[in-house]
Structure 1
Amino acid sequence: MDYLSYFLTSFATLFVIVDPPGNIPFFIALTEDLPVELREKVSKKATAIAATLLTFIALTGGLILQFFGVSIDGLRIAGGILLFLVALDILKGGPAKEVYVKRGMESKDIDSLAVFPIALPLYTGPGAITAAIVLASEAGNVLGMALLLLSIAAIYLIVRLTHIYSNQIIYLLGKSGADIVARVMAIFLAAIAVEYISEGISGKLSSML
């Protein structure tokens, strides 16, 4: 197994799906009215919850699939379809995310805001969960799994940094620049989705034949 290639693939896949730069405008929209101390509290809690959940999914995803009797190829197909729909939503301007932001802005509970919609589903949604399970199935051994967990930790470290420097990043990119980044990421996300679907179909056909 090429461990470097696996780590880079894991990191790139999760980075595109979690999309830290593309989610900056949504984080700002949800927290712009909060004092700096509360914004930091929301950021730390949301990042910790999102990272912990994805780590847990990566470690237990195989057992979950066995419990529900779902094959990894079936998950690839279903997850690929979900990823493709998410990519289309981003390319159309993210109307689904706008709904999450509206609901989040209506919340008066800081802890609830950190959980929903920031941790879930903005930073650990169905796409990230699917990718984590698929990547875990390809880890092969303990070292491979450790590299996957390292890539997850690196992704959410970047998420945290984008929160800390969110105002500077938005100032540098501008709203249009952030939208462009999000749409470019969406194109790669759609490509990953197609790969998942094709691999899933191929695996299903091979098992049938």
Structure 2
Amino acid sequence: MIDMAFLVTAFAALFVVIDPIGLTPIFVALTQGMSAAKRRALAIRACVIGFLILLVFALFGEAVLGFIGISMPAFRVAGGILLFLTALDMLFERRQKRRRDQADEEDEDDEDPSVFPLAIPLIAGPGAIATIILLVGQTEGPTGFAAVMGVLLAVLALVMVLFLAAGLLERLLGRVGINVVTRLLGMLLAALSVQFVLDGLRSFGLGG
């Protein structure tokens, strides 16, 4: 039986790391002038590719860590620190600027941004990869793995919905609204990242 509190935490962690609301303005910029059909195709392709990348890391990430001699508690602490840095970026607007720079660099000569930069690194970035490995590492058996994948699918479904409604959402929230939501998500991510670090340190203590 999967703990509901864990599912809520997993959803919150993946939501704030992938940041569907923060990705929406980037998607609007990358698809400016495209038809609704092409935007829809790009949104679906980006989300599918992002899911497949994260699925690979969910399946083999912990095995790779074990092969190179890194324990899950150590990775949990490192992942928590990484997520905390991401939270600082969100709180001080550095994350959005870096994402826009990445999008501009990749989009200069490419009319199809679904793989780069949407799927990689905007959806399946380092923070999302670290988070999915951490979450899978906290579960046991196929049921736990399936639950994490279900949460990931739910978050990516939200990404797709927001991509498809990008123009409307941008008009409703405005620049100020998007900035406020991004900062709130940054605060939540900071708290979750500290919890990851504490869990890792607690595991070290139990192991000793």
- After TM superposition, the score normalised by the length of structure 1 is 0.90
| Partner of residue 96, structure 1 | 98
Instruction: Tell me, yes or no, if the aligned pair for 1:65 and 1:71 is still in contact at 8 Å.
Output: yes
- Percent identical residues: 33
CA contact (8 A) 1:3 1:144 kept: no
Matched, 1:28 2:28: yes
The answer on whether the counterparts of 1:58 and 1:132 sit within 8 Å (CA) in structure 2 is yes
Tell me the equivalent position of 1:37: 37
Q: Report the equivalent of 1:81.
A: 81
SS at match of 1:194: helix
Report if aligned partners of 2:2, 2:147 keep a CA contact under 8 Å in 1.
no
Between the two proteins, the alignment pairs up a number of residues equal to: 206
Q: Deviations over 1:28-80 (max 9, x none)?
A: 11211333333222211111111111122222222122122211111112111
Please show how residues 170-189 of structure 1 align to structure 2 within 5 Å: 170-189=170-189
Further displaced range: 198-207 or 56-65: 198-207
Indicate conservation of the 8 Å contact 1:25/1:175, yes or no: no
Q: Is the 8 A contact 1:84 1:194 kept in 2?
A: yes
TM-score of the pair, normalised by structure 2: 0.91
* 1:20 alignment partner AA: P
RMSD: 1.7
Structure 1: which 5+ residue stretches go unaligned? Answer: none
User: 1:127 deviation in Å?
Assistant: 1.2
Contact conserved, 1:7 with 1:147, CA < 8 A, in 2? yes
What is the alpha-carbon distance in structure 1 between the residues aligned to residue 8 and residue 77 of structure 2? 23
Q: 1:189–1:149: structure 2 CA closer, same or farther, 3 Å change rule?
A: same
Give the distance between the partners of 1:117 and 1:17, measured in 2 at CA. 16
Look up the match of 2:110: 108
- Kept in 1, the 8 Å contact 2:17–2:128? The answer is yes
Q: Which amino acid aligns with 2:100?
A: E
1:9-158 to 2 correspondences below 5 Å = 9-93=9-93, 94=95, 95-110=97-112, 113-158=113-158
C-alpha separation in 2, matches of 1:199 and 1:11: 18
Q: Deviations over 1:69-128 (max 9, x none)?
A: 211111112111211111111222122212112213313241xx2112111121111111
Say if 1:58 and 1:133, in contact at 8 Å, map to a contact too. yes
Name the CA distance, whole Å, in 1 between partners of 2:109 and 2:80: 32
**What amino acid maps onto 1:96 in structure 2?**
R
- SS of 2:22 mapped into structure 1: coil
- Are the equivalent residues in 1 in contact too, given 2:47–2:159 (CA < 8 A)? yes
